[in-house]
Structure 1
Amino acid sequence: MCEKGAVSTRAGRGGVLRRGLRARLFAWQLAHAADAQEALYAERKRALFAGLATPPGCGPPRTVVEIGAGAGPNARYLARGTRWVVVEPNAWFHPHLRRAAERHGLDLDLRPGTAEALPVEGGAADAVVSTLVLCSVGDVEAALSEARRVLRPGGRFYFVEHVAAPPGSGLRAWQRALRRPWGWAADGCRPDRETGRRIREAGFADVQMEAFTAPLGLAAPHVAGVATVGGIER
């Protein structure tokens, strides 16, 4: 098992890299708020990612594809030696991701790209991880289809996402009223997106999902869980 991962950066299918001022400001903001934000999710993530925290018994290291990893807060939940394939289009996050991979002994394969066209081979991943990402992708259905495509038979999609408040609620009305300024400030985030429903309808063989609330104003309602693709595990 690798104790300290090599780092590669490659483009390819869906390759795109953002370097503008807005991307830089968002990366700075998220990186500096990472510890405070992670404190809200740490206990839940440790339970959710428990199966990824220990290395496989025999055979090659696990391949985990992470969509929009940001500054890399999820690196701490992966087993040392994991092949961590990160699809992150914001170039200003890349130095943070390299440091996170080195700190936690991960073999980082950093790929510019988008969730809707992952630059990853079909059936290559043991797991796909998405935390607080699907709120801002352009096409959620395409992103979930891509997650299914790159997973091996029996592979799992792990997610923690904030979602729309219940229809008819006061919070849902505020989410809709403020979604444009919220999205501008939060890099395209949609607080009223029904991500939980879309995961359930994405064609996974099994979806285990739990709803919870975080003290985050418009983004308070959340879901977390694991969705499994069909087929026989290798």
Structure 2
Amino acid sequence: MTLFMKFWSSVVNALCLPLHVIHALGLYEIYKRIFPIYLYRISICYNKKMHDKKKELFRSLSEFTKPGGRLTILEIGCGTGANFEFYPPGCKVICTDPNPHFEKYLKKSMGENDQLTYERFVVASGEDMGSVEDESVDVVVCTLVLCSVVDVQQTLREAHRILRPGGALFFLEHVAADPSTWVYFFQHVVQPLWYYFGDGCEVIRETWKYLEDAGFSDLKLRHIEAPLTALIKPHIIGYAVK
């Protein structure tokens, strides 16, 4: 199946030539202004289908509050603020995203979740959060983000750096399917097109391998089948303790 898969992936890649040219000319930045509108609508649908999984995952957040303090959460790639409703009341939230055009939707989500304290919104990539101090947060949240960062290893190093000792990275990510399946085949075939419409998203990443090698002291990771379209049905969920 490998040669067959490579052939069809090459065909799709060739059909994406106009998109490659648009990207090379720097015109793809226009799409970044439109993408928040699209993601806002998708996030509403995703939250409905993944509500129970998110609720289960974030139920453990409060366990990482320092004695006598308030839980401080930093969310990498916060997007439209789709996770805010699952955070425990009273916690402080630092929002980061490389796309400043999300701010409009962030403000809307903040208004709908005023049980939280929003410390600041930092325009920064996951790979470079230098404005956030070392060991300054209790929890880092990363959902549907590691699929689109340029450097997964560097993003995880940054998460590890800003977490206090005993803090945790919470994650929920779609990942590559089992290589023996047709889903894996179609993930690779459509990847060239998926990359552009997903704002850099790679549906073929084996993200769990990066988490296993990230140097956390404890990793709680499960593979699940999400109630979503086949291409993004394979997910990993869990948290990693510094």
What's the TM-score, normalizing by structure 2?
A: 0.82
Q: Please give the alpha-carbon distance, in whole angstroms, between the structure 2 residues aligned to 1:217 and 1:182.
A: 14
Q: Give the residue type in structure 2 aligned to 1:83.
A: K
CA RMSD of aligned residues (A): 1.9
Give unpaired runs (5+ residues) of structure 1: 1-18, 230-234
Classify the secondary structure of the residue corresponding to 2:60: helix
The aligned counterpart of 2:231 is 218
Residues 39 and 54 of structure 1, relative CA distance in 2, 3 Å threshold: farther
Q: Does structure 1 retain, via aligned residues, the 8 Å contact 2:64–2:139? A: no
1:65 pairs with 2:74? yes
Q: CA deviation at 1:201?
A: 1.3
Q: Give the residue type in structure 2 aligned to 1:133.
A: V
Q: Deviations over 1:26-56 (max 9, x none)?
A: 1000112222111121101111111336995
Q: Please give the alpha-carbon distance, in whole angstroms, between the structure 1 residues aligned to 2:66 and 2:168.
A: 18
Q: CA deviation at 1:132?
A: 0.5
Residues 144 and 24 of structure 1, relative CA distance in 2, 3 Å threshold: same
**Match for residue 136 of structure 1 among 142, 148, 156:** 148
Q: CA deviation at 1:213?
A: 1.2
Q: Please give the alpha-carbon distance, in whole angstroms, between the structure 1 residues aligned to 2:234 and 2:76.
A: 21
Q: Give the residue type in structure 2 aligned to 1:30.
A: L
Q: Deviations over 1:85-133 (max 9, x none)?
A: 1111212211211222232222221000000112311101100000101
Q: CA deviation at 1:203?
A: 0.8
Classify the secondary structure of the residue corresponding to 1:120: coil
Q: Give the residue type in structure 1 aligned to 2:121.
A: L
The aligned counterpart of 2:33 is 24
Q: Please give the alpha-carbon distance, in whole angstroms, between the structure 2 residues aligned to 1:76 and 1:42.
A: 10
Matches within 5 A, 1:33-112: 33-52=42-61, 59-105=68-114, 106-108=116-118, 109-112=120-123
The aligned counterpart of 1:165 is 177
Q: Does structure 2 retain, via aligned residues, the 8 Å contact 1:65–1:85? A: yes
Q: Please give the alpha-carbon distance, in whole angstroms, between the structure 1 residues aligned to 2:111 and 2:62.
A: 16
Classify the secondary structure of the residue corresponding to 2:223: strand
Residues 87 and 57 of structure 1, relative CA distance in 2, 3 Å threshold: closer
Q: CA deviation at 1:80?
A: 2.5
Classify the secondary structure of the residue corresponding to 2:44: helix
The runs of at least 4 consecutive aligned structure 1 residues that moved more than 4 Å come to 53-58
Q: Please give the alpha-carbon distance, in whole angstroms, between the structure 1 residues aligned to 2:160 and 2:65.
A: 21
Q: Give the residue type in structure 1 aligned to 2:151.
A: D
The aligned counterpart of 1:209 is 221
The aligned counterpart of 1:183 is 195
Q: Please give the alpha-carbon distance, in whole angstroms, between the structure 2 residues aligned to 1:96 and 1:116.
A: 23
Q: Please give the alpha-carbon distance, in whole angstroms, between the structure 2 residues aligned to 1:110 and 1:179.
A: 31
**Match for residue 195 of structure 1 among 182, 196, 207:** 207
Give the greater-gyration-radius structure (CA): 2
| Identity among equivalent pairs (%) | 33
Classify the secondary structure of the residue corresponding to 1:156: strand
Q: Please give the alpha-carbon distance, in whole angstroms, between the structure 2 residues aligned to 1:174 and 1:191.
A: 10
Give unpaired runs (5+ residues) of structure 2: 1-27
Bigger share in helix: 2
Q: CA deviation at 1:149?
A: 0.6
Classify the secondary structure of the residue corresponding to 2:173: strand
